[in-house]
Amino acid sequence: MNKLLLSLLILLLIAGCTERINVNLDNSYIRLVVDGGITNDSMQQSVSLSKSASYFYNQPPPMISHAMVTVSDGSFLDTLVEELPDNPGIYTLPKNFRGVIGKTYGLDIKLPEVIGNSAEYSSACKIMKVARLDSIKAEFNPDLGKNGHWLVKIYAQEPGDEINFYLLKYYRNGVLMTDSIQKWSTSDDKYFNGSYIKGLTAFYINNGHPWETLHPGDTLIVQMSGITREYYDFIQEVQQAGYQIPFFSGPPANVEGNISGGGVGFFTAYSNSFAKLIIPAK
């Protein structure tokens, strides 16, 4: 009986010391999120506008429609057209638009409502040179990991006139396999500035992932992009923070982009080079 009374007393003391704690997660600070840019080739070029979401928001980010979005290089002005009704919040340039290496492109955004204390945002980015890919090679190494890895290597002449920064992605049979920022590969030319890039390994592809690995007969395309130092740093920071595409679909992040007025994300401009390979038998 004494032990029972003692146990009841302890439970009462614990209950008396317990206090409900309400964590106030502030959902009121919504910011504009910008993702997209322009290139010097024929791919469709667009910019997406959305709102940042609260930490526990488990839906796609709210897209922003009916904004006025323009791109200019100082001598011309193009208005981007929203893809309504199919893709609200996605604003595209004319299909025949091509960026020019060496030019700086400015982005101006006028929102239909105030977001983050502003309805107007802007950004700018310069199109940098890119090393022209001569060829690519895919080699299978059975000794890397449990199931082996494919090593995708690039061959190109590096320009060498300045410090350059590169972004690499790859497609398998027309499908972008590096479909999240965590899968992108980046590099500077610190160790090969002005030299011939002879077999630099750009990707390690795990053969143990059937949806990811390469198969004999697959068509592999590598895209190499010349990017600015600012965009290179942005990608590095986002990868370290662990965010996916679309950027910042969860809580607002403090990764620094290039959007004025407190917006997040990045408006980029870059040049592209491509190389194709049919995967040989192992």
Count CB neighbours of 160 within 10 A. Answer: 13
| Per-residue confidence band for 10, with pLDDT thresholds at 50, 70 and 90 | very low
pLDDT digits (tens, 9 = 90+) for 191-204: 888 899 999 999 99
**Do 66 and 85 meet the contact criterion of CB atoms below 8 Å apart?**
no
Residues with Cβ within 8 Å of residue 169, at least 6 apart in sequence: 176, 177, 178, 183, 184, 185, 222, 223, 225
How many helices (H) and strands (E) would you count in the chain?
2, 16
CA angle 182, 184, 164 (to 5 degrees): 130
pLDDT digits (tens, 9 = 90+) for 146-190: 999 999 999 999 987 788 999 999 999 999 999 999 999 999 998
Cα 269 from Cα 38, distance rounded (Å): 5
3-state DSSP assignment of residue 15: helix
Domain ranges of the chain: 132-236+271-278
**Burial of 41 by CB count in 10 Å (0-12 exposed, 13-18 middle, 19+ buried)?**
middle
The residue ranking higher by pLDDT, 210 or 227, is: 227
Average the pLDDT over 69-94 and give the result.
94
CATH tag, 132-236+271-278 = 2.60.40
* 16: phi then psi, degrees, rounded to nearest 5: -70, -25
| Per-residue confidence band for 54, with pLDDT thresholds at 50, 70 and 90 | low
Q: How far is CA 57 from CA 135, 191, 248, 255, in A?
A: 44, 43, 11, 19
Average the pLDDT over 16-25 and give the result.
42
